[in-house]
A and B are shown apart, each in its own frame.
Chain A
Amino acid sequence: MRVGANLIAGIGLSVFFLALAGVSLVWTPYDVTLLVVGDRLQPPSQAHWLGTDHFGRDILSMIMVGARTSIAVALIAVGVGVIFGVPLGLFAAAMRGSLADEIVMRGNDLVFAFPALVIAILITAIFGPGAVNAIIAIGIFNIPVFARVARGAALSVWTREFIMAARLSGKGSAHISFEHILPNIANTLIVQATIQFSLGILAEAGLAYVGLGAQPPQPSWGRMLAEAQTMIALAPHVAIIPGLTIVLMVLGLNLFGDGLRDYLDPRLRERRP
């Protein structure tokens, strides 16, 4: 197995942003709650590497703290999807063709009819906006994704003859699902997790942008863009920098996912979408 350029670039970018988020816990160049009206809309300079926004806040510091929000929301949402979706998918595959399988799959379709944005609208309408809403909305959307992927991959493993051998050894469906099925679909699930992670970053930014995600004063990339929108002609860097940050983070995760897939299954190297 060869570690590809994609994987290296992907790991590099992902680790960079994780580190940025980590460092922000103990240190940022400036306090992100510090409003210095005299320094507003400064272009990048020695003092402010990425400039300042319309309240005079240091953009680099806000990006660092915003990384924390984005990564936390997307990561927890992936966790929600995996924890609920994978067992559901394994269960449906083990019960393939039965009424239980049908119910799980129809339930999946039903949740699929609610895009994350719609779930966020519903939650926000009742409980008010916040980063937790974003986690729940994206997390709920992730559940059928993982259930479907897990079921599909598990179904193809269930047809293999070694599963029959395991049944002849007296092992039940649950035992087989965890001993034989799960390890054989783990690669697929890991790759799907990186995809959902990157989609989660994009979705979180979108929700924050329309005000359904993280609320002030908690910095977030999506809200930085919402606030920069009216200033775009005046100081383009305020809008361009957070957007580029999102692109780089998502690009990094996608490259990581692709590279990982190639590494785990080299036969598919040129096949992946």
Chain B
Amino acid sequence: MAVFVLKRLASLLASLLFASLAIFLVLEVLPGDPAAFMLGLNAAPDTVAALREQLGLTAPLPQRYFGWLAGMTVGDFGISYTYRVPVSDLIGARVQVSVPLAAYALTLSTLIAIPVGAIAASARNTPLDAGIMGMTQLGVALPNFWFAMLLVLVFSVGLRWFSAGGFPGWDDPFAAMRALTLPAVALALPQAAILARVMRSSLLDTLDQEYMRTARAKGLSQGQALRRHALRNALIPVLTIMGLQFSFLLAGAIIIENVFFLPGLGRLVFQAISARDLVVVRSVVMLLVFAVVTVNFLVDFTYALVDPRLRRPVS
């Protein structure tokens, strides 16, 4: 187990290193002179030189890259060129919206999808199964931001159960969760539809495994065999998809902020793009990649908890 975790940890660090290198190359090397790029065509040469000095662009590339890495490890992401404040402050405030939103949506999607998929599988080829499959087929096709608009139309404009947008901050956790509920539902349902389909097909696969017949021959009822033997085996492919979904949900959270006027990473990064603030862009992108890679590491770790063949390999 320790070896497994160490190995995964090493590959996590390698992924982060390569990803940061890719981001650095695209944002710092591709534009030629980032300072000139950020200031635009009409900037005076001495302004460009000043910014170059301020951003530390006069140093050689390797030094700049490792300086950036070293800064990030202690939480120093540099100074935003447009906001004139440390990027870590900007990001810190916004992460508190985007990451909880993605996590909230992932929780909802899992809580909905696993029982629904299990019900559909145990009722296979009945009208109930067909009904669930039809609903999920529709759910998979929903663009989440459009679904969010419909939710606003019905629950905020129509029924007035939720405010149409904005975020009150975490001082009042209840109000904060309430503000994140409609966005989380909008994100979660389409993903839940995918996950439920995966759960159903995975469970159907395990139901046909020979150890299920063994369990029935021991005297377990269909339901007992399903709960005690099929579910855990069926969860392995579901975990894989959940890992992938987190990156979709994070991207979705950034898009859906627009619908609800949430002060998250999305708004920050889109404004930074139009202001050509590359310091903010590279930090946000690195953060998103970090989140995706870390979640995949956690998924691998969960695999090992579920599956003894990974935890105790036989050489």
Q: Say if A and B assemble together.
A: yes
A binding-site residues for B, Cβ under 8 Å: 106, 109-110, 112-118, 121-126, 198, 202, 205-206, 209-211, 222, 225-226, 228-229, 232-233, 236, 239-240, 242-243, 246-248, 250-251, 254-255, 270-273
Produce 1/0 per residue, B165-207, CB < 8 A to A. 0000000000000000000000000000010011011101100
Of all chain B residues, the one with the shortest Cβ separation from A124 is B273
Q: Does B91 contact A (CB under 8 A)?
A: no
Min CB distance A100 to B, Å, is 17
List A contacts of B146 (CB < 8 A). Answer: 205, 225, 239, 242-243, 246-247
B interface residues, Cβ below 8 angstroms from A? 11, 14-15, 18-19, 22-23, 26-27, 30-31, 37, 124-125, 137-138, 140-147, 149-150, 152-153, 157, 194, 197-198, 200-202, 204-205, 244, 247-248, 250-252, 254-255, 258-259, 266, 269-270, 272-273, 276, 278, 281, 284-285, 288-289, 292-293, 296
Contacts of B255 in A (CB 8 A): 117, 206, 209-210
Establish whether residues B141 and A118, one from each chain, have CB atoms under 8 Å apart when the complex forms: no
Q: Name the prevailing secondary structure of the B interface residues.
A: helix
* Cβ-defined contact, B201 with A272, below 8 A: yes
Q: Apart from A209-B255, A273-B194, list 11 A-B contacts with CB within 8 A.
A: A113-B293, A114-B19, A115-B251, A126-B31, A206-B251, A209-B145, A232-B152, A236-B153, A250-B143, A273-B201, A273-B202
Asked if residues A126 and B137 are in contact (CB atoms below 8 Å), the reply is no
- Candidate in A117, A205, A228, A247 with the most chain B CB atoms within 10 angstroms: A117
Take A251-B138, A270-B125 as given contacts and tell me if A246 and B143 are in contact as well, using a CB distance cutoff of 8 Å. yes
B292 touches A113 (CB 8 A): yes
Secondary structure at chain A's binding surface: helix, strand, loop or mixed? helix
Nearest-Cβ distance from residue A108 to partner chain B, whole angstroms: 11
CB proximity of A265 to chain B, nearest CB, Å:
13
Are A233 and B273 neighbours in the complex by a CB distance under 8 Å? Answer: no
Q: Is A122's CB under 8 angstroms from B149's CB?
A: no
Residues of A within 8 A of B202 (CB): 273
Determine which of B201, B244, B250, B254 lies in contact with A271 in the assembled complex, contact meaning CB atoms within 8 Å: B201
Of the candidates B143, B201, B258, B266, the one whose C-beta lies within 8 Å of that of A202 is B143
Cβ contacts under 8 Å, A248 to chain B: 141
Residue of A nearest to B144 (CB): A206
Q: Is the CB of B157 within 8 A of A232?
A: yes
- The complex places the Cα of A267 from the Cα of B194 at a distance, in Å, of 21
- Measured in the bound complex, the distance between the Cα atoms of B14 and A106 in whole Å is 10
CA A222 – CA B23 in complex, angstroms?
A: 27
Give chain A residues whose Cβ lies under 8 Å from the Cβ of B258. Answer: 209-210, 226, 229
Please pick, from B15, B194, B248, B278, the residue contacting A109 in the complex, using a CB distance under 8 A: B15
Q: Which residue of A lies closest to B243 (CB)?
A: A112
Q: Closest 3 CB pairs between A and B?
A: A243-B146, A250-B141, A117-B251
A125-B278, A254-B140, A255-B137 in contact; A210/B149 too (CB < 8 A)?
no
* Contacting pair B251 A118 (CB below 8 A): yes
- Set of chain B residues within 8 Å of A250, measured between Cβ atoms: 140-141, 143
Task: Kindly provide the distance from the CB of A3 to the nearest chain B CB, expressed in whole angstroms.
Answer: 18
Chain B CB within 10 Å, residue with most, of A118, A246, A255? A118
Contact of A247 with B124 in the complex, beta carbons under 8 Å: no
Contact status B23-A122, CB under 8 Å: yes
Specify which chain A residues have a CB less than 8 angstroms from the CB of B247 in the assembled complex.
112-113, 115
Residues of A within 8 Å of B285, CB to CB, are 118, 121-122
Chain A's closest residue to B291 (CB) is: A113
Q: How far is the CA of A106 from the CA of B16 in the complex (A)?
A: 12
Q: Which residue of B lies closest to A250 (CB)?
A: B141
Question: In the complex, how many angstroms separate the beta carbon of B172 from the nearest chain A beta carbon?
Answer: 27
16 sampled A-B residue pairs with Cβ under 8 A: A106-B14, A109-B11, A110-B22, A112-B292, A113-B292, A116-B251, A124-B273, A126-B26, A126-B30, A202-B143, A205-B146, A206-B144, A211-B270, A229-B149, A232-B153, A248-B141
* B152: chain A residues within 8 A (beta carbon): 232
Task: Compute how far the CA of A255 lies from the CA of B136 in the bound complex, rounded to whole angstroms.
Answer: 12
Contact among A110, A123, A206 for B15, CB-based, below 8 A: A110
Q: State the Cβ distance, A127 to closest chain B Cβ, in Å.
A: 9
Q: Is the CB of A210 within 8 A of B27?
A: no
Q: Which residue of A lies closest to B157 (CB)?
A: A233
